[in-house]
Structure 1
Amino acid sequence: MALSVEPTIHYPDSDGQPMADNTRQFRWIVLLKENLECLFANDPNVFVAGDLLWYPVEGRPDIRVAPDVMVIFGRPKGDRGSYQQWLEAGITPQVVFEILSPGNRLTEMVKKLQFYDRHGVEEYYIYDPDLQELSILVRTPQGLDTVEMIDHWRSPRLGIEFVLGEDDLEVYYPDGRRFLTTIELAQQIKEAQQRAEQEAFRAQQETQRAEQEALRAQQETQRAEQEALRAEQETQRADRLAAYLRSQGIDPEQI
């Protein structure tokens, strides 16, 4: 009797959906993902991913979702084709972000909320950049619940702060620095380099001035030593002359 072989279950790395529907949505996804990468760059056990399929249940490739951005504490950094939770010590992504676009439907967002609630997400952020509306849900004993006071909200897990400005949402690092786009970061680095170059140039000028002052002081010392030597030589000549006059019976003080 032939042994039956169980078919291999395939967990696709792509759901065939685009990462973003427009440039604004994409810009926000990149802004959050890259700045969160920077925030936890020195912690090897915080994994940050963007548009990565998350499979929470082994054997069920149909149960999946790809958060725009997700943060998982307790998992090492590294490349993955998907996040298969049973291969990741069973750890659920603790924080997820969704950036809305005009193509997002209410039913889709309700399903995602139910998914994140069912599978243990601790913090769920939904931002609509067109309407500048931010929704925050955090886990309570009853499940994910809406946060009412969202302006200047500080994430319990991430430590970052959300500030609703007049024109846009702003996100800040725990130390107060604002999340920057790649262009802003490049400009900041360029300005820092320019300031460093200017400081180095000023330091070089100060060094040159100090060297010039030291050279002038050395020259003054040399001139003073030469004057002292000439004075000593004159004194010696006067002493010899006086000695000669005395040897001739002449009192030099009477001359």
Structure 2
Amino acid sequence: MVQQLSSETSPEIIYPDSDGQPMADNTEQFKWIVVIKENLEILFADVADVFVAGDLLWYPVRGNNKIRQAPDAMVAFGRPKGRRGSYKQWEEDNIPPQVVFEVLSPGNRAGKMADKLLFYQRYGVEEYYIYDPDGIEIAGLIRSGDWLERIENMNGWVSPRLGIRFELTENTLEIYHPDGQRFLTFVELDRLREQERIAKEIALAEAEEERQRAEEERQRAEEAIAQLEQEQQRYQALLEQLRQRGINPEQL
């Protein structure tokens, strides 16, 4: 009689790195996702334990690959920077992203957005921001106990976690770094760097001109001092000649 051994090992659960959905539905949505994510990267570039990602699948529950979301941008404080195929929370000291952003497109349905809100509320998000670039409207929610409560006035709101400020104009949303620098696109950043490069070159050229002027002034001053010394030497020589002839210069 042959005894069969039963295996207690369960099949390995795969957590896909992609949900098969596009990152954005149009150019405006894509632009804002990139602007927010990259400026957050810049903001925390020198902070080792702040992880920023865009369109990265977040799995909060080990053993269930159906529970997941891919925020347009997210920030996890207390987690190191580095490459990830997805954000598996149990591998991240069970730290959820504290701040998430969603940029709306015409394809965002009310039911889908409600599901996202419930997900972020249930799994520990502290700040949730939703921007509609078509309607130029931004909504924010902040955690109060077990709930995410709506922020009454987002115009001028400063994120407690990020320190960034939101300003709505007639034409667009403007987001500002804690130092007052506006969130910029790559094109604007490139132009700003070019302007800074040109300004630096002008400043260096002006400094060089000033140095040359100072050097010329120094040389003129040295020449004047040398001429004065020569005149003094000639004057002393003349006095000595008069004394040698028996003439007292002081009596002249």
TM-score (norm 1): 0.91
Runs of at least 4 residues of structure 1 off by over 4 A? none
Aligned to 1:69: 73
Counterparts in 2 of 1:94-105, with a 5 A limit? Answer: 94-105=98-109
Q: Which amino acid aligns with 1:120?
A: G
The answer to which of 25-34 and 191-200 deviates more is 191-200
Aligned to 1:31: 35
Among candidates 157, 161, 184, match of residue 157 of structure 1 = 161
**Distance in 2 between the 1:141 and 1:237 partners?**
104
Deviations 1:16-42 (A, max 9, x none): 111111111111011111111111122
CA contact (8 A) 2:121 2:146 kept: no
Deviations 1:184-214 (A, max 9, x none): 1122222122222111111111111111111
Q: CA deviation at 1:2?
A: 3.0
Q: CA deviation at 1:6?
A: 2.1
Matched length: 244
Q: Which amino acid aligns with 2:79?
A: R
Aligned to 2:46: 42
Aligned to 2:5: 2
**Distance in 1 between the 2:144 and 2:132 partners?**
24
Taking only the aligned residue pairs, the percentage that are identical comes to 55
Q: Which amino acid aligns with 2:127?
A: E
Superposed CA RMSD: 1.6
1:139 is aligned to 2:139: no
**Distance in 1 between the 2:44 and 2:155 partners?**
24
Deviations 1:76-117 (A, max 9, x none): 111100000011111111111000111111111111111111
1:197 is aligned to 2:201: yes
Q: Which amino acid aligns with 2:5?
A: A
**Distance in 2 between the 1:239 and 1:118 partners?**
109
**Distance in 1 between the 2:234 and 2:41 partners?**
75
Aligned to 2:217: 213
Counterparts in 2 of 1:163-242, with a 5 A limit? Answer: 163-242=167-246
Q: CA deviation at 1:3?
A: 4.2
**Distance in 2 between the 1:236 and 1:150 partners?**
91
Aligned to 1:246: none
Q: CA deviation at 1:141?
A: 2.6
The answer to which of 212-221 and 135-144 deviates more is 135-144
Aligned to 1:250: none
TM-score (norm 2): 0.92
Deviations 1:163-199 (A, max 9, x none): 1111101111122221111111122222122222111
**Distance in 2 between the 1:218 and 1:145 partners?**
75
**Distance in 2 between the 1:158 and 1:98 partners?**
16
**Distance in 2 between the 1:84 and 1:49 partners?**
13
**Distance in 1 between the 2:206 and 2:154 partners?**
47
Unpaired runs of at least 5, structure 2? none
- Secondary structure of the 1:96 match is strand
- Secondary structure of the 2:56 match is coil
Please tell me whether Structure 1 or Structure 2 has the larger radius of gyration of its CA atoms.
1
**Distance in 1 between the 2:87 and 2:47 partners?**
19
Q: CA deviation at 1:230?
A: 1.9
Unpaired runs of at least 5, structure 1? 244-252
- Secondary structure of the 2:76 match is strand
